[in-house]
Amino acid sequence: MMNEIKLTGESKNIVSDNISKLKEIFPDVITENKIDFKKLELILGEDIDVFHEKYSFTWPGKIQAIKESQKQSTGTLRPCREESKDWDSTQNLYIEGDNLEVLKLLQKSYYNKIKCIYIDPPYNTGKDFIYKDNFKDNLENYLELTGQLVTGEREREREHWY
């Protein structure tokens, strides 16, 4: 008899999975499916350092991005044979959609089955980037800034080196 696999149509619940893992290792720190961080600190003892600042990679909106990545997705991926190239002879899939949403949907069904994912960054979003993304400069400015071009003032400065 074959085992039935029930599909919920939802992506993996990362938060719930992480709480379950903690519950297996430290059952005393979970109460009503919530983590008691004070108990966790006590159990971990000296391995917890809450008083010293640490270097971290951060940006405005990082906490919101983490929360967004932890939300469950309920979308569905459907193949479009007519839009796919060589559908019957390749094992490649072309997926169009929001990068985060698609990755969350792939995580549950295709875990350990995908060899490579190429993500094309968003473009034509109608919004300008919030960071400088145009570093175009002329060659003369570049050479001068990098010290490869000696001009007027710099030549006079070098004369006084001797």
Least confident of 51-55, 78-82, 107-111: 51-55
CA distance 20 to 33: 9
Residues near 61 by beta carbon (within 8 Å), at least 6 away in sequence: none
pLDDT score of 156 more than 60: no
pLDDT score of 151 more than 70: no
Does the global pTM surpass 0.95?
no
Per-residue tokens: 130: 């919030």
Exposure class string for 68-96: b at 16+ Cβ within 10 A, else e: eeeeebeeeeeeeeeeeeeeeeeeeeeee
CA distance 162 to 155: 13
Question: Region 48-72: what's the mean pLDDT?
Answer: 80
Which band of pLDDT confidence, cut at 50, 70 and 90, is reported for residue 153? low
Residue-wise pLDDT for 124-142, tens only, equals 566 666 666 667 788 888 8
Please report which helix (H) or strand (E) contains residue 140, including its range. helix 139-145
- Cα 122 to Cα 23, 95, 96: the distances in Å are 38, 14, 11
User: C-alpha angle 40/42/44, rounded to 5°?
Assistant: 70
- pLDDT value at residue 55: 77
Q: Are 144 and 151 in contact (CB under 8 A)?
A: yes
- pLDDT value at residue 85: 81
For the chain, the average pLDDT equals 78
- pLDDT value at residue 120: 75
Per-residue tokens: 82: 């007519």
Per-residue tokens: 42: 């006590």
Least confident of 23-27, 53-57, 104-108: 53-57
Which band of pLDDT confidence, cut at 50, 70 and 90, is reported for residue 123? low
Domain limits, the chain = 11-47
Residue-wise pLDDT for 21-46, tens only, equals 989 998 888 888 788 888 888 777 77
**Which residues face 31 on adjacent strands?**
34
